[in-house]
């Protein structure tokens, strides 16, 4: 009877490691993107509103990458779960909004791959 439990635990561990690996990979991608944004501000006009906004976005990207590296997938899942328990209405509203956003982003790509109808 302990063999299935061991198998489940092994699978859970492997999934956790893979999820953390993906979180760290995402953090590297976000950090690279943020570094490129920060470098782009070096070419801009110092003190301009656009320069300040781009730098703020780059800083937010760095903070997000640091958060992903520090917390990993398990930490993110835990934080999301805590938020859902504390603010369920806001969580559901955010999930619905995210669903609409993903649908909107995927809809144009789906239309491009659909062959045109012939009369």
Residue 16 binned pLDDT confidence (cut-offs 50, 70, 90): confident
How many domains is the chain built from? Answer: 1
Among residues 60, 75, 58, 94, which one has the least CA distance to residue 24?
Answer: 75
* Cα–Cα dist 41/62, whole Å: 15
Q: How far apart are CA 83 and CA 85, in angstroms?
A: 5
Q: Torsions phi, psi of 44, nearest 5?
A: -80, 180
**Residue matched to tokens 């328990």:** 85
The radius of gyration computed from the CA coordinates of the chain, to the nearest angstrom, equals 21
Q: Considering the entire predicted model, what is its pTM?
A: 0.63
The C-alpha atoms of residue 75 and residue 73 are separated, in whole angstroms, by: 5
For residue 96, the enclosing domain spans 2-113
Q: For residue 119, tell me if it sits in a domain.
A: no
Predicted pLDDT at 46: 74
pLDDT category of residue 111 using cuts at 50, 70 and 90: low
pLDDT tens per residue, range 64-73: 999 999 998 8
Mean pLDDT of 36-43: 83
Q: Which DSSP helix (H) or strand (E) runs through 63?
A: helix 49-86
Position 116 confidence tier, pLDDT thresholds 50, 70, 90 = low
Span 32-37, mean pLDDT?
A: 92
Over residues 7-29, mean pLDDT? 88
**Among 22, 97, 29, which Cα is nearest to 61's?**
29
What is the number of other CB atoms lying within 10 angstroms of the CB of residue 71? 16
Within-domain flag for 118 = no
Residue 100 lies in a domain: yes
């Amino acid at each position: 009877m302990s063999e299935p439990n061991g198998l489940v635990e092994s699978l859970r561990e492997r999934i956790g490691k893979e999820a953390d690996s993906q979180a760290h990979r995402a953090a590297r991608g976000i950090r690279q993107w943020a570094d490129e944004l920060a470098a782009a501000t070096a070419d801009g006009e110092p003190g301009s509103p656009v320069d300040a906004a781009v730098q703020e976005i780059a800083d937010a990207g760095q903070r997000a990458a640091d958060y992903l590296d520090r917390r990993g997938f398990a930490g993110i899942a835990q934080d999301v779960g805590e938020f859902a328990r504390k603010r369920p209405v806001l969580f559901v509203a955010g999930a619905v909004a995210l669903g609409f956003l993903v649908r909107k982003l995927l809809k144009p790509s789906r239309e491009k791959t659909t062959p045109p109808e012939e009369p």
